[in-house]
Structure 1
Amino acid sequence: MKKWWMTLGLSAALAAAAPVFAAGNVQLSHDGLTIGLITDMAGPYAALEGPGSELAAKMAIEDFGGKIDGKPIKLMVGDNQNKPDVASAIVRRWIDQDHVDMLVGLGNSSVALAVQALASDKHVITMAADSGTTELTEDRCTKYGIHYVYDTHALAAGTGTAVVKQGGDSWYFITVDYAFGHSLEEDTAAVVRKLGGKVVGQVLHPLDTTDFSSYLLRAQASKAKVIALANTGDNFVNAVKQAHEFQITQHGQQLVGMLVFVNGVKSLGLETAQGLQFTGAWYWDQNAKSRAWAERFHKRLGVMPNYGQAGVYSAVLTYLNAVTEAGTVDADKVRDVLGKTDINDMFVSHGKILPNGLMLHDMFLMKVKTPAESHGDWDLLKVMATIPGKDAFLPLSASKCKLVKASNG
């Protein structure tokens, strides 16, 4: 079994760093503070997470100053191989033997659910940046679990609403067969039906699928106005490329990506991806702060970051600031500080972590540019609309999380 992990001691404070609390007099559980990044280093999501998420976490530690109370901040990186049992084994060892204080990234939804449950039992905070299922903050919410970047409800609310209002009122889903895909299809179908549309069919595909021809032919035969790809990463890229070969959009059906990252658009090229609409949490070129951070990232990795990787950076820095304010790595005290923090950085404006662990923030409806609109290699998207967090995410009043009921007395 191939494993990836490494321990890093970092101590470079950069001029462009976000404001932080002065680190001093912090009660640590061991000789330093350790953060564990659980991610896909070599699988179908590696380009979306993997080395990019690792760099983002490193940059956050560097920008914080590399040390806390004079002790090193260490980063451990584990390849989850997109398998809950593999990720759980790594996390259990990290917590029991390496004294990991916080876990970030987490990977696909099935992995994230397993890791969040295990870490919570051991009183370790998790900050999911890559995972989509709403179960992380709903039926399977935990005291120490935080869902930081996006979820399937927000993706559905943004893209589903926009497409139906534009006339796309009949849908066919091509869905990846695990927790994330099921949750994304369910949430999007609910939005479609609520707005008066209908779902005419769906088909499930395995995570490691490369040939989408049979799925696309079924979708084409359904005569649905919208073919929704409830997948991401290599699955999404391969499906779009093959749909382009079949000239599906030229025959009048609309292709919709339900979880799209800038990496996927870059891989497809604007000629193929132009006009695609989707909902995202962040774009590297949306403002001066995002551009400055993204350019630093690009200089070190050669690609622009996506919103999951930007979320890893923000989550790590937010956690380190909370530890400093709390004066301890004690998970209960740090979680209390996190719940009171107004998060403002290059990723989010006025983010708020709710009692169920959801980080509430604005989302964005985006559209892929045409080749004529692009003025550079990574000038790929335009932000069409801001979706207020209260409209994107499930409201606490509708939450099934037991922690919400407890906080309401």
Structure 2
Amino acid sequence: MTGNDNSSKFSRRTLLKAGAVIGTAQIASPFVQMARASDVVKIGVDNPATGTYAALGKNEHIGMQMAADQINAKGGILGRKVELLFEDSTSGDAGVAVQKARKLIDRDQVDFLIGNINSALAQAIANVANEKGVFHVVPGGHTDSVTGSNCHWNTFRVCNTTQTEANAVASALVKKAGKKWYYLTPDYAFGHTLQAGLEAAGKKLGVTKVGGDLTPLGTTDFSSYLIKAQAANPDVIIFLQAGDDAVNALKQAVQFGLDKRFHLAGAQQELEVLWGLPPEARVGTWVFEWYWKQAKVTGVDAFVAEARKRSGGHVPTARTYFGHTSIWTCALAAQKAGSLDAVKMAKAMQDFQLPPEVSMMPDGAYYRGGQNQMIGDLYVGHAQSKGSDDPDDLFVVDQVVDGRKVSPTLAETMCHQDWPHA
């Protein structure tokens, strides 16, 4: 890794105590000597560069390129240089995303496939990757089915399931806001499962749903929805939008003065959204899936420093982290399997503990066997109008939640993988 990474100085005893001997050795030790320049490992990226999720896609791409550069500096994947091939999936057109996935696999002959931010597109891409038998990593599409009822042996996911996010933040929402919730939910897979997750988690805490609305992806005027939410007189208005939709919804809610009467909050929140909001609209209780301000967590300082160089001085976001982890997942799978065979790589990643320089979380992270879902920490807290010592510090972490404690059990996910060559 770059910057102040000291992984190469770890003793074997230290690594054993950390439970990361294999993974850290793969990072700290040089990879196989780089082969000839024309012999490359192609990683196809099918992710949004336009539309509602363009800003999120941009930061995921920055993280992906950071990882590719780090891997190449260490000798590549199995001695071959890593090459990233980017395709714009759009933010909401599953047909385009599927077409781009097939192009990357059939014409460009990629060895790995990455995508998508939009949950519906992520699931569609996963189905194509499974049909073609290609190792696939979902960086930031959260809907439960991807590693649940429609999981595949070859698809791995970095970001959390919506149920895990809901479980992590529900008690904080009750404590900070109350038990009468009104939902504003994006009308597609991500929003549907996130609301369902919150309803399930809230039910255990005595929460009552007093109403809700489904909002189309790309909505710019939320006034009619906000008027209905106000009339329901909830304790909290739950905003489940992401990207530009979240910016528009929260900005208009504050313009309406709803923050003076209700708690404006939700589940998943991201720096890209907080950057897009005026200071007065940076309010509420949320959960981040990764946050850049983590003292004494291995690899974070170097990651932040490198991201600032590539992002005009901005810190990395959870999206930068998702992209970075996705590419490293490909490299680590091939390295452990000693092969680019998708089945061998997928088998090698069952219950795989990520090296600390990749996981960059206090409790570490691993891919749960039988589901291929990464499980790590979540960061529950509240937004703030501005940081005291850094303009990018717009979130206060009140609690780091170990994902092992809030993730559904393997049985509850309903994931049943159909492995080839059984």
Scaled by the length of structure 2, what TM-score is found?
0.86
Deviations 1:280-317 (A, max 9, x none): 11111123532321221121121322112212102211
Relative to structure 2, which stretch is displaced further, 289-298 or 191-200? 289-298
In structure 2, the partner of 1:74 is: 83
Distance 1:340 1:230 in 2: 31
Corresponding residue of 1:174: 184
CA contact (8 A) 1:297 1:305 kept: yes
Rate the CA distance shift 1:227–1:333 in 2: closer, same or farther, 3 A.
same
Matched, 1:40 2:42: no
Q: Verify the 8 A CA contact 1:24 1:69 in the aligned structure 2.
A: yes
Deviation at residue 188 of structure 1 after TM alignment: 0.6
Report which stretch shifted further, 74-83 or 375-384.
Answer: 375-384
What are the equivalent positions in structure 2 for 1:203-214 lying under 5 Å apart? 203-214=213-224
- Following superposition, the deviation at residue 321 of structure 1 comes to 2.2
Name the structure 2 match of 1:54: 61
Q: Are 1:122 and 2:136 matched, yes or no? A: no
Contact 2:287 2:381 in 1 (8 A): yes
CA apart distance, 1:369? 2.5
Task: Give the secondary structure class of the aligned counterpart of 1:135.
Answer: helix
Matches within 5 A, 1:220-299: 220-251=230-261, 253-274=262-283, 276-288=284-296, 289-299=299-309
Residue 397 in structure 1 maps to residue 416 in structure 2 = no
The alpha carbon displacement at 1:202 in A equals: 1.0
Secondary structure at 1:142 match in 2: coil
Please report how far the alpha carbon of residue 31 of structure 1 lies from its aligned counterpart in structure 2 after TM superposition.
3.4
* Aligned residue number for residue 71 of structure 2: 64
- Alpha-carbon contact 1:323-1:329 (below 8 Å) kept: yes
Spell out structure 1 runs of 4+ moving beyond 4 A.
13-18
For the pair 1:144 / 2:154, whether they are aligned, the reply is yes
- Identical aligned pairs, as a percentage? 28
Q: Is the 8 A contact 2:144 2:413 kept in 1?
A: no
Q: Which residue of 1 aligns with 2:21?
A: none
Q: TM-score, normalised by structure 1?
A: 0.89
2 CA distance for matches of 1:167 and 1:228?
Answer: 10
Aligned AA (2:293): D
Flag structure 2 segments of 5+ consecutive residues without an equivalent.
8-26
The answer to whether the 8 Å contact 1:21/1:324 transfers is no
Q: 1:20 to 1:102 in 2, by over 3 A?
A: farther
1:336 maps to a residue whose letter is: K
Q: Equivalents in 2 of 1:290, 1:296: separation in Å? A: 10
Residue 94 in structure 1 maps to residue 104 in structure 2: yes
CA–CA separation in structure 1 for the residues paired with 2:33 and 2:305 = 34
What is the CA–CA distance in structure 2 between the aligned matches of 1:246 and 1:160, rounded to whole Å? Answer: 26
Any stretches of 5+ residues in structure 1 without a counterpart? 1-12
| 1:200 to 1:15, Cα distance in 2 relative to 1, 3 A | closer
CA RMSD of aligned residues (A): 2.4
Query: Which residue number in structure 1 is paired with residue 10 of structure 2?
Result: none
Cα distance in structure 1, aligned partners of 2:145 and 2:29: 33
- Measured against aligned partners, the alpha-carbon deviations of 1:7-64 in whole angstroms (never above 9, x if no partner) come to xxxxxx856677255433899xx93211112211021111112x22222111101111
In structure 2, distance between residues paired with 1:212 and 1:139: 32
Matched residue, 2:388: 374
Relative to structure 1, the CA distance from residue 159 to residue 362 in structure 2 (aligned partners, 3 Å threshold; closer, same or farther) is: same
Given the alignment, which residue of 317, 325, 342 partners 1:314? 325
Task: Tell me how many residue pairs correspond in the alignment.
Answer: 389
Identify which range, 65-74 or 102-111, moves more after superposition. 65-74
